[in-house]
Amino acid sequence: MATLFAWALVAGRLVRWSITAPVAMTAAGVVLTVGPHPLVTVSLTTSDAERAVEIILAVLLFTDATAAPKGVVRAHRRLLARLLLVALPLTVLAGVLVGGLLFPSGRWWLVALFAVVTVAVDLAPAAELIKDSRLPSWLRGVLTVETGLNDGILAPVFLFFLAGAEAYGDSGTPSGEPLGRALDAVFWAVVAGVLVGRPGGLLLRRAWRAGWTRPSAVRLGILALPLAAYGLGILLDGSGFIAAFVAGLCFAPEARALPAHALDLVEDVGALLSLALWFVFGELVTQAFTGDFDGRVVAYAALSLTVVRVLPVLLALLGSGLRRADRLLLAWLGPRGMATIVYGLLAFNGLAPVDPHAADLVGQLMTMTVLMSLVLHGLTYGPVAARYARYAGRPDGSDPDGAG
């Protein structure tokens, strides 16, 4: 909290050097947890810690599902369909292929888990870019919607791949029926999300229009929805965080009829919980490079942030009519952040009892990918925005590289 308060005092100045809140909290986590006698010790292997991580993800996925700028989805539905229904599956496939080349063990469930953990996009490392007026508002809106829905779409895929990796373990032979349980968990999560999100939105809208409630109470009611969806999902033996995402999708249409800034509280709580997890990520950085570190992790993370993201997006945008600069910007902006951290932690805890080596490897991949993204995307968003603005300001609209 002291680190967060100190950052809040000088956030405007630090952002000039690309020192955002995630960077500051990660740095504090490294400093305060390093060494044989750290000032702070965090345990992430208990069931309580796993539940806490899932609840954070539930709030974030609910926020992502409801925070789409008005009109963006309708106005750019074809572009978003290319990014989410074409580029995203191609990105996962590219991650699987790269993982299979670098870690040729024949364990495709595990390689697929590596891919889905490391391709989830989150704008946190380059969050200031979304506020940068040098980019057109439509482009910033598309990026916001893509990164928000990206994480939720990957949630059931992650659950399925994790179940497969747990089922086959390090022996290569299946144990139990975790794949069937994963499908059941997704089904009941959808049921829970619909039961909470749709009625919750209708009741809040009607109560507001009838004058029965106040803006502050509406904000608290909205905050209760992702937590209620998570709890109901768990009670039904489903996935709590998928239930929260579905609840957000069902609630979103009703949110437009609620008072202004109705979503501010749930967004701020999500941001605060995220910063706590960024602090925990700082400890993970100190742990990732101790013991048996696999050098292939660096190559995988570098390829995941570049080739695995860029090529599928460029392929998906062929024939879209977008200018070359717009396509390149959308392809480059694939930062990894909170979703990768959460999926990585859940995968680590899930694999640790059945395959400790695989658990360590997924933890290293998650940590290296996010750490490299903090540096790569955090330090380049300023120059990228400046170059884009120079191109957009050309009176003839021509591409500075000579392309049409």
Contact 223, 204 (CB under 8 A): no
pLDDT at 46: 61
- Predicted local distance difference test score (pLDDT) of residue 299: 94
Instruction: Identify the helix (H) or strand (E) that includes residue 14.
Output: helix 11-14
pLDDT of 291 reads: 62
Location of structure tokens 């500051």: 24
Question: To which H or E segment does residue 394 belong?
Answer: none
Q: What is the DSSP letter of 84?
A: I
Number of H helices, E strands in the chain: 18, 0
> What is the separation of C-alpha 106 from the centre of its chain, rounded to a whole number of angstroms?
28
pLDDT 10s digit of each residue in the chain, 404 long? 888 888 889 887 877 776 778 888 888 888 888 877 778 777 666 667 778 888 998 999 999 888 766 677 788 889 999 999 999 999 999 999 999 999 887 788 899 999 999 998 887 777 667 777 778 888 888 888 888 888 889 999 999 999 888 887 655 555 556 667 788 889 999 999 999 999 999 999 999 999 999 999 999 999 999 999 999 999 999 999 999 999 999 998 888 888 888 889 999 999 899 888 888 888 888 777 666 777 899 999 999 999 999 999 999 999 988 988 889 888 988 888 888 998 998 898 888 888 888 888 998 999 999 999 988 887 777 777 778 887 766 433 444 343 33
Residue 170 buriedness (CB in 10 A; 0-12 / 13-18 / 19+): middle
Structure confidence at residue 149 (pLDDT): 86
Q: What is the pLDDT of residue 207?
A: 93
Instruction: Say what the pLDDT of residue 396 is.
Output: 39
**Residue pair 298/98 in contact by the 8 Å Cβ criterion:** no
Q: What are φ and ψ of residue 36, in 5° steps?
A: -70, -20
User: How many residues would you count in the chain?
Assistant: 404
Q: Largest Cα–Cα distance of the chain, in whole Å?
A: 64
pLDDT value for 192: 95
**Among 270, 289, 20, CA closest to 151:** 270
